[in-house]
Amino acid sequence: MKLQALSVLVLSAALWSGEAAIAQIPLQPGTYWLGTSKSIRIIGSENKFCYIGYSKYGVSIASLLPVLKQPNVYRVHTFEGVLIMQQSDQVLRFGKDQMWSDYQLDPSSSQDAIIPEGTLCLKSAKPYFKQFKPGRG
């Protein structure tokens, strides 16, 4: 019984660690919320994804780059050590090391318009990054 409990503990730690992240579910485009003030929009398809992060500090748009040897796990271009993976159909996991946040899918988000910079990110041949402060214009 102790061996089984230890195995579950080791597996849980591996799934939560950025080094050993394993995502069985492919990334799913949509808007995901953490509380009421932070959201992540994933746009793209199986060949290329982009991240659009919204918070009270502004908007960040970045390419999502596949992590080698970790299928369905992506790193956010220019965000040191930050990973994104689909935890379930409704949950997007975002973070690094032991600091993960689970963002919940907004089911009505499939009809949201994509900001122009998101389209530029998807069309870019190189990793893309752009940031805006609140009240850009």
Per the domain annotation, does 137 fall within a domain? no
Per the domain annotation, does 58 fall within a domain? yes
Q: What is the pTM of this model?
A: 0.79
In percent, the amount of the chain with pLDDT more than 90 equals 64
pLDDT 10s digits, 116-130: 999 999 999 999 999
pLDDT 10s digits, 66-83: 999 999 999 999 999 999
| Mean pLDDT score across all residues of the chain | 83
Per the domain annotation, does 30 fall within a domain? yes
More confident residue, 14 or 108: 108
Residue 65 structural domain: 2-132
Q: In total, how many domains does the chain have?
A: 1
* Residues 56 and 105 sit within 8 Å (Cβ to Cβ): no
| Residue 37 pLDDT | 85
User: Is residue 10's pLDDT more than 50?
Assistant: no
Residue 106 burial (C-beta neighbours within 10 Å; 0-12, 13-18, 19+): middle
More confident residue, 68 or 6: 68
Q: Place 20 in a pLDDT band, splitting at 50, 70 and 90.
A: very low
Per the domain annotation, does 99 fall within a domain? yes
Ordered DSSP codes for 86-109: E-SSSEEEEEETTEEEEEEE-GGG
Per the domain annotation, does 79 fall within a domain? yes
Per the domain annotation, does 118 fall within a domain? yes
